[in-house]
């Protein structure tokens, strides 16, 4: 099958789906959204790492102004979804309470440093001039806890992408629902602001084994771990 035949099949499927939607009962004048995948959430580590590598290469090629806009979009995404984030985390992990989690998510969204800490610095003197510009690591592997599940996602996410990195999260298995949902929402906000797809990646069904594999993965340049004694072991 050649490329022209493939394109013809795709166009036919799109026309058929569009026709079916037009025949469906009205929902306020808008057709229901079709979700084909969860942005940034992958079934396996290798796929997540490959996507993160591609996203990071695109990310560092963008203007700093785009990076700043995407980080602000991440902050606003948290504010817009904070009630749902807090509720989902409490229901899934059985830890904490909604009121406190709202406060902590907003604190991380509003106060985690972004581009403001990464301004170039220059010094001059009798012996010449020095320019300091910080460079990214590349892809960061982040292991996150069941306590502060979504708070850690936004804190790590802002700090890491501000530095020009992409992230692969291995979230705690008992918080995978709320954490992976948040990764998806953050990716959607980044793309809407002009950033690349899959800047934040995560594993759909994380395990201790996937965390160990993440720590040793050849495409991951830096490991950041948040958690207690069990993670150390």
Q: What is the pLDDT of residues 100-136, one digit of tens each?
A: 999 999 999 999 999 988 888 899 999 999 999 889 9
- Convert the pLDDT of each residue in 12-23 to its tens digit: 544 554 444 344
Looking at residue 118, its pLDDT comes to 84
Q: Residue 131 belongs to what H/E stretch?
A: strand 128-132
The per-residue pLDDT of the chain, averaged, comes to 87
Q: How many CB atoms lie within 10 A of CB 155?
A: 22
For the residues of 99-160, what is the DSSP string, one character each? Answer: HHHHHHHHHHHHHS--GGG---EEEEETTEEEEE-----SEEEEE--STTHHHHHHHHHHHH
Residue pLDDT, tens place only, 36-55: 357 999 999 999 999 999 99
Which pLDDT value is given to residue 188? 97
- pLDDT value of residue 16: 52
Q: Which residues of the chain have pLDDT under 50?
A: 2, 6-7, 10, 13-14, 17-36
């Amino acid at each position: 099958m050649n490329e022209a035949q493939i394109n013809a099949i795709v166009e036919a499927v799109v026309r058929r789906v569009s026709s079916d939607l037009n025949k469906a009962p009205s929902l306020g004048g808008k057709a229901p959204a079709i979700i084909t995948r969860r942005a940034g959430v992958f079934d396996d580590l290798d796929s997540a790492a490959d996507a993160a590598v591609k996203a990071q290469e695109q990310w560092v090629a963008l203007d700093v102004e785009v990076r700043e806009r995407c980080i602000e979009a991440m902050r606003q995404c948290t504010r817009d979804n904070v009630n749902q984030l807090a509720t989902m985390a409490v229901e899934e992990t059985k830890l904490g309470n909604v009121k406190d989690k709202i406060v902590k998510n907003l604190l991380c969204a509003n106060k985690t440093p972004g581009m403001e800490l990464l301004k170039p610095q220059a010094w001059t003197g009798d012996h010449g001039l020095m320019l300091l510009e910080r460079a990214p690591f590349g892809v960061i592997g982040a292991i996150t806890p069941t306590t502060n599940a979504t708070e850690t996602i936004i804190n790590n996410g802002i700090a890491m992408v501000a530095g020009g990195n992409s992230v692969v999260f291995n979230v705690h298995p008992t918080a995978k629902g709320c954490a992976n949902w948040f990764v998806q929402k953050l990716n959607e906000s980044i793309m809407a602001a002009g950033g690349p797809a899959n800047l934040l990646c995560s594993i759909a069904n994380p395990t201790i084994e996937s965390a160990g594999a993440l720590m040793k993965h050849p495409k991951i340049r830096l490991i950041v771990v948040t958690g207690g004694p069990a993670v150390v072991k």
